Structure 1
Amino acid sequence: MPREATLSTNEREFILEALRQDKRLDGRAFEQFRSLELSFGDEFGVVDVQLGRTRILVRISCEVVIPYPDRKFDGIFTINTEFSPMASPAYEVGRPNQDETILSRILEKALRRSSALDTESLCIIAGAKVFSLRADIHVLDHDGNLIDAACAGLLAALLHFRRPDVEVSGAEATIFSARERQPIPLSLLHHPLCVTFSYFDGGVISVLDATQAEEQVREGEVIITMNRHGEVCQIAKYGGVPVDALAIIDWTNKALVKVKEMHKIIVATLEEDAKKRNLGGLMAELSAENDR
């Protein structure tokens, strides 16, 4: 069975000893993230996320379906993760591993179960027609901290996506294409983001945005999901040695600072993309008028 190349004993001891001396291999501070870069595709809802050498592609798609019988007034939102073999030798197509399972669960709780997306706004005709949103998350390159990068990419993709405009007349619904009417942005009630703390030496040492090498050495991880208003959506801890409750409180305060920083980056990138699209539309109209 394929697996990731493991660190040697000397490499593990070197990383741990460096952390004990307040140093990381890439020279970052313990609470410093790598550079977060977002680039949007030509389609709405397509986002390429790069966090250091970790790279993830997120795509939002939409279709009209019949709602669930017990939720007639709610649209449908599903999240699908795919780990490509090009991201890591440990991943195989069609064989989900532990990383993929954890990532799916965290994102489900962070964005779907926290009601970040207003699913009632996706309803067209109660009990008959609703919009079904599907988020496809493709891991292209894995160099640690997949959860934080994927959550930032998914939130950015939802903010960037536009659904078709709809006109309802009685029991009939007309769905307009992008050429007929301007698509409509989604209704997001809040913007949750994940911050992962990797800890060592029983929680005495903790770092943010761990690389793949640091993840192989850590004793455990704590994922804190919250929005920029300081509202905690979830705190998840998978295995590892126990950590002190006071450490969790301290990490929550630090997570809020990072959430605000990431949110600013996402908003700024969205504004830049909107300006480019508006400029392109205006220039296209002017050129078409000149041609006539």
Structure 2
Amino acid sequence: MPREVELSNNERDFILGALRQGLRLDGRGQDVYRELEISFGEEYGVVDVRLGKTRIVARISCEVVAPYPDRKFDGVFVISTEFSPMASPAFEVGRQNQDEIILSRILEKAIRRSSALDTESLCIIAGSKCFSLRADIHVLDHDGNLIDTACAGLVTALQHFKRPDVEVQGEKVTIFTAREREPVPLSMLHHPLCVTFSYYDGGQIALLDATFAEEQVREGEIIVTMNRNGEVCQIAKYGGVAVDALAILSWTNMALVKVQAMTKVIQARLKEDAERRDKDGIAAELRADNDRPSERPHG
């Protein structure tokens, strides 16, 4: 099985020595994130997110299906992750590694179990028809902090996506195209984001947004998921050495500041994209189509 190139002992000692002096290889402070860059595809729900050299693409799609028998009033929401071999030599197509399993679990708890998405709003006819949403997370480049990047991408894509409008008359369901009716945004109850703390020396040193090299020498990680209101959705720790509970409390307060900052960036980019589309995108096309029949030749 292919493996990522491991750091040499000298490289490990150098990174740890620098961290103990309060220095990082890229010159950032210990609590500083790399720049979060967000761009959107032409379709609703396609988002390209970059955090430094780490890059993921999130895509939301939907179809009409029958709901689960035990959840007749809910729609369906599925999260799928794919690690591309171009992102890392350690990733293979069709073979899940530990990173992919952990990422899937974290996103599942962050979005589904925290009820961030109102799945009842996806119901069309109880027990008969509902929308099934699928979120595909594609990892294109891996330079550390995949969890925070993927969660930001998923939450942004869900806010950006719009489902088709529907009309129900008895048992008859009419699904309108984007040209017939403006698509409908998803109902999001809150917007949780992940903040990952990589720690060293038993928690004496904690880094935010660790690079891949820094992740290879850490003793463990704590993932804090919360929304901008400070409501904690989950605190996850997968292995690693023990860390003091008071340190986790301190990190939770720090996470809130970062979540609020990331939320502002996401909302600003969503607003910019909405204004761009309204100016020369689908909304303008819809208005043009509606106006065209009423036009009369001048004479």
Q: How does 1:204-223 map to 2 (within 5 A)?
A: 204-223=204-223
Alpha-carbon RMSD: 1.6
Q: Structure 1 residue 165: deviation in Å?
A: 0.3
Aligned residue for 2:158? Answer: 158
Q: Secondary structure at the match of 2:139?
A: strand
Matches within 5 A, 1:13-162: 13-162=13-162
User: What amino acid sits opposite 1:84 in the alignment?
Assistant: S
C-alpha distance in structure 2 between counterparts of 1:278 and 1:110, whole Å: 31
Partner Cα distance (1:255, 1:203) in 2? 16
Shift of the alpha carbon at 1:30?
0.3
SS in structure 1 at match of 2:6: coil
Q: Work out the CA distance in 2 between the residues paired with 1:243 and 1:75.
A: 40
- Match for residue 196 of structure 1? 196
Q: Deviations over 1:126-150 (max 9, x none)?
A: 0000000000000000000000000
Unaligned runs of 5+ in 1: none
Could you tell me which amino acid in structure 2 is paired with residue 129 of structure 1?
K
Q: Distance in 2 between matches of 1:65 and 1:240?
A: 42
Query: Structure 1, residues 226-254: CA drift from partner, whole Å, max 9, x if none?
Result: 00000000000010000000000000000
Query: Does 1:274 find its partner at 2:267?
Result: no
CA distance in 2: counterparts of 1:280 and 1:254, whole angstroms: 40
Shift of 1:45: 0.1
TM-score, normalising length: structure 1: 0.97
Identity over aligned pairs, percent: 74
Aligned equivalents of 1:157, 1:283: Cα separation in 2 = 22
Distance 1:200 1:107 in 2: 25
In the TM superposition, residue 26 of structure 1 has moved relative to its aligned partner by 0.2
Shift of 1:286: 7.0
Give the match for residue 248 of structure 1. Answer: 248
C-alpha distance in 2, partners of 1:102/1:10?
29
The alignment partner of 2:134 has SS state of strand
Question: What SS does the aligned partner of 1:134 have?
Answer: strand
Report the number of matched residues: 292
Shift of 1:172: 1.2
Q: Within 2, Cα distance between the matches of 1:130 and 1:279?
A: 32
Equivalent position amino acid for 1:69 in 2: P
Separation of aligned partners in 1, 2:275 and 2:169: 35
C-alpha displacement at 1:283, in angstroms?
6.3
Q: Which amino acid in the other structure matches residue 104 of structure 1?
A: S
TM-score when normalising by structure 2: 0.95
Q: What secondary structure, in the 3-state scheme, does the structure 2 residue paired with 1:238 have?
A: coil
- Check 1:283–1:75 CA distance in 2 against 1; reply closer, same or farther (3 A cut): closer
User: Offset at 1:112?
Assistant: 0.8
How far off is 1:171 after superposition? 1.1
1:286 & 1:23 partners in 2: Cα distance?
57
CA–CA distance in 1 between the matches of 2:59 and 2:204? 39
Within a 5 Å distance, the mapping from 1:224-239 to structure 2 comes to 224-239=224-239
Instruction: Output the amino acid matched with 1:105.
Output: R
Aligned counterparts of 2:157 and 2:75: Cα–Cα separation in 1: 18
Q: Secondary structure at the match of 1:19?
A: helix
